[in-house]
Amino acid sequence: MTEVENQMSDNAFDNCGYNKKLKPLAGKLRRNMTKSEACLWKYALKARHLKGYQFRRQRPVLNYIADFICKELMLIIEIDGITHDAEDSLAKDKRREEDLNLAGFKVIRFTDEEVLSNMAGVVTVIEKEIERIEKSTPLIPRQRGTRNTHTYNGKKVNYDKVSCTRRTNCDESIKYKILKKNIAVFLDRDGTINEEVGYLDSLDKLKIISTAYEAIKLINLNGMKAIVISNQAGVARGYFSEDFVRMINNYLQNDMLENGAVIDRFYYCPHHPTEGNEVYQQICNCRKPAPGMLLQAAEELSIDLAKSYFVGDRFIDMETAKKVGAKGVLVRTGYGDDLLQDDGPDTATQENKPDFVAADILEAVQWILKDRKHNI
């Protein structure tokens, strides 16, 4: 956030604390966003991607310029670079946050590194804060013509040209807040995004399939969620730890970001039904072909499973898709080609038969886009 030491006039605010005097500087900052700001904007906040709420970037608020703001939620998101580590900068950040809190805003801060290395984690934090705000502020859709004002330093600040005309209980407000659900492309990891190497127990063995970048970028650009769903029984078997799985996922996410793509969320199952220690040896609802991970994603990310897709290299991926009413695309990378050569597609049962067989993840996503267009 950029601080501007200027004296605001009584009419400095239009709505949501908007300060007209800072508009030129805000425009300049908007044209010169940092890499982390650009990534968070493009892949999470732009065009109501995040739970249907409208965020604005580099928006003048009070004496400051917020990196991202949602006036409906009274939520500000800040991305701090290395210059914010200095003692005087920390003091200014604290003063700004106190001013904004006093004016009714909630401020969430992230570092450049957090955004670039763990986009999925950053988005999760924002989503949880949005859910908290929704629960604590049960409002019906806002009606035109009413104003929402607060007092800041003795001045009335109009935060919103429209506001609710009455308050209601939480149950009623939720009915009004039902948003259009997201469509997801669930992706198996090993053998679909990266090459199959048996148990991936070393970073040296991680080789991204070359077409994966463009495929996931296509998912992003077409407004769908890219969600990784993987069985990681190597944890139960003692080949590697959950920390190692998360490290591989973070590395994969960072590599995607550097190539203009983003994975919205990673889910994995560390269990095995017959092997492993007491913690991991269990029959669970998350290990594919059980639908647990998809159901969790649907709840957390508001996914319409019946309109979603699963791309993977095994028949269990197709079976997982069928269990939630999604379509399955089998890729020939990983184990896919061997399955088709040994068994053939005709051996698939009704429960695990793919809706389409693709050469790789890119062809799979291209077919998904055609299928969506055909079924709109």
- Report the pLDDT value the prediction gives residue 343, as an integer from 0 to 100: 59
- Report the pLDDT value the prediction gives residue 211, as an integer from 0 to 100: 96
> What's the rounded Cα separation, in Å, for the pair 131 and 140?
15
Both tokens of 323, joined, read 């269990």
pLDDT digits (tens, 9 = 90+) for 273-321: 999 887 899 999 999 999 999 999 999 888 999 999 999 999 999 999 9
C-beta of residue 114 within 8 angstroms of C-beta of residue 142: no
Q: Please state the rounded mean pLDDT for residues 359-374.
A: 96
- Report the pLDDT value the prediction gives residue 344, as an integer from 0 to 100: 55
- Report the pLDDT value the prediction gives residue 345, as an integer from 0 to 100: 53
User: What are the residues whose beta carbons fall under 8 Å from the beta carbon of 71, sequence distance 6 or more?
Assistant: 15, 16, 56, 159, 160
Q: Please state the rounded mean pLDDT for residues 353-372.
A: 96
Q: Which of the residue ranges 10-24, 28-42, 82-96, 137-151 would you say has the lowest mean pLDDT?
A: 137-151
Give the percent of the chain with pLDDT over 70: 78
pLDDT digits (tens, 9 = 90+) for 298-307: 998 889 999 9
Q: Phi and psi dihedrals of 114, rounded to 5?
A: -60, -40
**C-alpha distance from residue 293 to each of 184, 252, 268, 321 (Å):** 13, 19, 7, 11
Confidence of residue 154 (pLDDT cuts 50, 70, 90): very low
Is the pLDDT at 337 greater than 90, yes or no?
Answer: no
C-beta of residue 57 within 8 angstroms of C-beta of residue 45: yes
Residues facing 80 on adjacent strands: 111
**C-alpha distance from residue 48 to each of 41, 116, 179, 344, 371 (Å):** 10, 21, 11, 43, 24
- Report the pLDDT value the prediction gives residue 80, as an integer from 0 to 100: 85
Average pLDDT for the chain:
81
Q: Please state the rounded mean pLDDT for residues 33-46.
A: 87
- Report the pLDDT value the prediction gives residue 207, as an integer from 0 to 100: 96
C-beta of residue 62 within 8 angstroms of C-beta of residue 103: yes
Q: Please state the rounded mean pLDDT for residues 45-67.
A: 88
C-beta of residue 275 within 8 angstroms of C-beta of residue 230: no
- Report the pLDDT value the prediction gives residue 347, as an integer from 0 to 100: 55
Both tokens of 187, joined, read 């992706």
- Report the pLDDT value the prediction gives residue 180, as an integer from 0 to 100: 61
Other CB atoms within 10 A of residue 203 CB: 10
Q: Which domains are seen in the chain, by residue range? A: 2-137 (3.40.960.10), 184-375 (3.40.50.1000)
Quote the Cα angle for 116-121-125, to 5°: 120
Q: Please state the rounded mean pLDDT for residues 55-59.
A: 92
- Report the pLDDT value the prediction gives residue 82, as an integer from 0 to 100: 55
Q: Please state the rounded mean pLDDT for residues 338-351.
A: 66
Quote the Cα angle for 331-333-338, to 5°: 95
More confident residue, 137 or 246: 246
Both tokens of 358, joined, read 């693709």
- Report the pLDDT value the prediction gives residue 169, as an integer from 0 to 100: 36
Is the pLDDT at 270 greater than 50, yes or no?
Answer: yes
- Report the pLDDT value the prediction gives residue 324, as an integer from 0 to 100: 96
- As annotated, the active-site residues are 188, 190
Confidence of residue 178 (pLDDT cuts 50, 70, 90): very low
Confidence of residue 44 (pLDDT cuts 50, 70, 90): confident
- Report the pLDDT value the prediction gives residue 322, as an integer from 0 to 100: 96
Q: Please state the rounded mean pLDDT for residues 121-131.
A: 87
Q: Phi and psi dihedrals of 158, rounded to 5?
A: -90, 105
Is the pLDDT at 63 greater than 60, yes or no?
Answer: yes
User: What are the residues whose beta carbons fall under 8 Å from the beta carbon of 14, sequence distance 6 or more?
Assistant: 20, 158
C-beta of residue 16 within 8 angstroms of C-beta of residue 69: yes
> What's the rounded Cα separation, in Å, for the pair 311 and 78?
35
Q: Which of the residue ranges 171-175, 194-198, 295-299 would you say has the lowest mean pLDDT?
A: 171-175
- Report the pLDDT value the prediction gives residue 149, as an integer from 0 to 100: 43
> What's the rounded Cα separation, in Å, for the pair 306 and 296?
15
> What's the rounded Cα separation, in Å, for the pair 146 and 133?
21
Q: Please state the rounded mean pLDDT for residues 73-89.
A: 73
- Compute the CA torsion angle 250, 252, 254, 256 (nearest 10 deg): -150
Is the pLDDT at 144 greater than 50, yes or no?
Answer: no
Q: Please state the rounded mean pLDDT for residues 345-350.
A: 58
